[in-house]
Structure 1
Amino acid sequence: MRKVSCEIIKDMLPLYYDSVCSDDSKRMVEEHLSECNNCKVEFKKIQDEIHIPEKSIIENRTDSNVIKNISTSWKRLRLKSFIKGGIITALLIGIIILGYVGLFKWEINSVSTDVVEIRDISEMEDGKIVYYADINDGYSLNTIKYDMDSEGNFYMTPLRPLIKKEAQPPYGLEKGYDFIDIKVQEEFRGKEIKRIYYGTPKDKILIWEKGMVLPKASEEVEKYFGLE
């Protein structure tokens, strides 16, 4: 076999080291290295330059694991912060909604009878008790709570939220006729109604009591409630 020059072998050493040369080229390089010290030295340099010491590999792996752990911890912290932020946001929104409902929608304040006038109390042909309520403090009213105690006292309590709204026409329950159907209420509650009050047990206006004779409702009132 023709002897191969060192220059050719040096060009092939990187391929030989990476095991990407053909079998024939591999044998040729190995035969040359067995005889040529200069090329052996050159090959040793390539090995030293490319080879990473085991200690360095371990350190690199350790550094990589540290980075991965830091990245994982950071992602967990981001997730926890996101969840925490979501919970806080939901709580704040809930508090705002509850505050709004409590102040503007939750009707818990009763109207003092000092600003209430009840007039034109009468009885309709079907037995309903009709009255005209005039709340003259300038604020609107949308809710009347019905309640009854064990002694047969029936209360119609006007309720408002903490934050009141000014009354604007067309008026609601603050100005206008309303009625109470005694028969329906007695059937529903299973008790006899003896008195009807507008207000609360401690602050009330008597509208009707058993045995009271009321004037007949006018034709206008009958028509207003659609009975004529």
Structure 2
Amino acid sequence: MTKITCDIVQDVLPLYYDEVCSQDTKKLVEEHLQSCKECQKELENLSAIVPVQQSETKQNAQDKKMMMSLANSWKGFRKKAFFKGIGIASLVSLLLIGSYFTLTEWDIKPVKQDNIVITEIAQLADGRIAFHIDYLDDIDVYRVKYELHEDGNFYMIPLRTIIGKSSLPHFVVSEGYQTFDLPSRQIDRDGKINALFYGSPENAQLIWKEGMALPKASEEQEQHLKIED
């Protein structure tokens, strides 16, 4: 049999007297009263007090129900707020990760023209145009985008990440000699190439245009840029 103290019994005696306690509580109180004279006296004293009006009892029950409803509502609100917080945190994390990759991994930023120096423009024996590139700011270039415009201008646009960073050599469009296979491009591309530029259309360096006579490549260039059969 479960033992409870007199303090606990005397705390719940009003509920017991008004018959608003649970059956388990009622059973525990009655078992205690059988052997406790002090609590029996308290019950007798309680019986001598003017009974609580029925309306007040109902109001107390309604207040209890309201408090329980508010407690449940608060629990539901906290649960929703918790999952909402997780969702917001996940979204912020995705945005931060996306921003990081946009800034450091996507080759979307054209190299400024004042950072590019092109020299030694010449024509190889096989018809390709050769030239030497230096990037003055020493930041890696990862990709070159090709654009052929309706006017026949062909642009080689060097791109890099918004936040420049170093990379493994085979991922980098390295400085040094570059070539442009004009004969093949004329065949592969839709439209005739009238001029070749290095850089974005807004500010590009002219490498070759139709009618321009380029110097023949030196023996050193020929050997350096020789295509293996």
> Is the Cα–Cα contact under 8 Å of residues 142 and 160 in structure 2 kept in the other structure?
yes
Distance 1:75-1:183 versus aligned 2 partners, 3 A rule? farther
> Which residue identity is paired with 1:178?
Q
Detail structure 1 runs of 4+ shifted over 6 Å in the superposition. 167-171
Query: Displacement, 1:129?
Result: 3.0
Query: Displacement, 1:186?
Result: 4.4
Q: Is structure 2 residue 151 aligned with structure 1 residue 147?
A: no
Q: Percent of aligned pairs with the same residue?
A: 30
Distance 2:184 2:88 in 1: 49
Query: Displacement, 1:142?
Result: 0.9
CA RMSD, Structure 1 to Structure 2 (Å): 3.7
Distance 1:185-1:80 versus aligned 2 partners, 3 A rule? farther
TM-score normalised by length of structure 1:
0.60
Partner of 2:146, secondary structure, is strand
Distance 2:63 2:171 in 1: 77
Query: Displacement, 1:193?
Result: 0.8
Q: Which moved more, 1:160-169 or 1:78-87?
A: 160-169
Q: Whose radius of gyration is greater, 1 or 2?
A: 1
Q: Which residue of 1 aligns with 2:199?
A: 199
Q: Which residue of 1 aligns with 2:113?
A: 113
> Is the Cα–Cα contact under 8 Å of residues 102 and 162 in structure 2 kept in the other structure?
yes
Give the unaligned 5+ runs of structure 2: 1-43
> Is the Cα–Cα contact under 8 Å of residues 138 and 166 in structure 1 kept in the other structure?
no
> Is the Cα–Cα contact under 8 Å of residues 133 and 173 in structure 1 kept in the other structure?
no
Q: Which residue of 2 aligns with 1:227?
A: 228
Q: Aligned residues, how many?
A: 178
1:12-62: CA deviation from partner (whole Å, max 9, x where unpaired) = xxxxxxxxxxxxxxxxxxxxxxxxxxxxxxxxx9xx9xxxx9959856753
Partner of 2:228, secondary structure, is coil
Q: Which residue of 2 aligns with 1:23?
A: none
TM-score normalised by length of structure 2:
0.60
> Which residue identity is paired with 1:155?
Y
Query: Displacement, 1:187?
Result: 5.0
